[in-house]
Structure 1
Amino acid sequence: MPTILRLNGYRFFFYSRENDGPPHIHVEFADKLAKYWLEPVELASSQRVRAHELGGVRRLVVEHRTDFLKAWYEHFSSED
């Protein structure tokens, strides 16, 4: 479960064996979870995240999207 970024209480990560779908990132903060597709950035799912919090999380995903995609492709290309 590689952690790609920790920022202001948010942890951005993906699961090592989760490359059967499109690139995405999981975000964990406190007891809340969200999953965002990266191409394009779109909310895939969320648990216990209030609607007003999702906008801020999405902005962080958009801001760091290039790094997340780079980490995704580097990690999953090394598993072949």
Structure 2
Amino acid sequence: MPELLRLFGLRFFFYSNDHRPPHIHVRGNDGEARFSINPVNCIENNGLKKKDLYLAEAIIKTNKEEFLRKWNEFFKS
């Protein structure tokens, strides 16, 4: 599972067998969420606190182009 970033106790990654459309998984101490990259939107939340969801969304928006580039590079799309 390629890790993209660790910041403020949150881990941003995707699974090596993930599917389209491009999305990012975010894991924290309390759970995991999944965000679409374009547009940045929480698709699923399994236990992350609201403050962590807001933080994760802001981090993904800031790093959106880089995350998308890494996704496309890894999956060769």
Give TM-score, length-normalised by structure 1: 0.86
Q: 1:10 to 1:53 in 2, by over 3 A?
A: closer
Distance 2:51 2:76 in 1: 36
Residue of structure 2 equivalent to 1:75: 74
CA–CA distance in structure 1, aligned partners of residues 4 and 53 of structure 2: 19
Q: What is aligned with 2:17?
A: 17
Deviation at 1:8, TM superposition (A): 1.8
C-alpha separation between the residues in 1 aligned to 2:7 and 2:56? Answer: 11
Runs of 4+ in 1 over 3 A off after TM superposition: none
Cα distance change of structure 1 residues 18 and 38 upon mapping to structure 2, 3 Å threshold: same
Q: Over the residues paired in the alignment, what is the CA RMSD in angstroms?
A: 1.5
Give the TM-score, by structure 2 length.
0.89
> Equivalents in 2 of 1:9, 1:53: separation in Å?
9
- Structure 1, residues 15-56: CA drift from partner, whole Å, max 9, x if none? 01113x200000011131110001111111011123343212
Match of 1:4 in 2: 4
| Unmatched tracts of structure 1, length 5 or more | none
Instruction: Report % sequence identity.
Output: 38
Residues in 1 aligned to 2:76 and 2:49: alpha-carbon distance in whole angstroms = 35
Cα distance in 1 between the residues matched to 2:25 and 2:70 = 13
The alignment partner of 1:61 has SS state of helix
Structure number with larger C-alpha Rg: 1
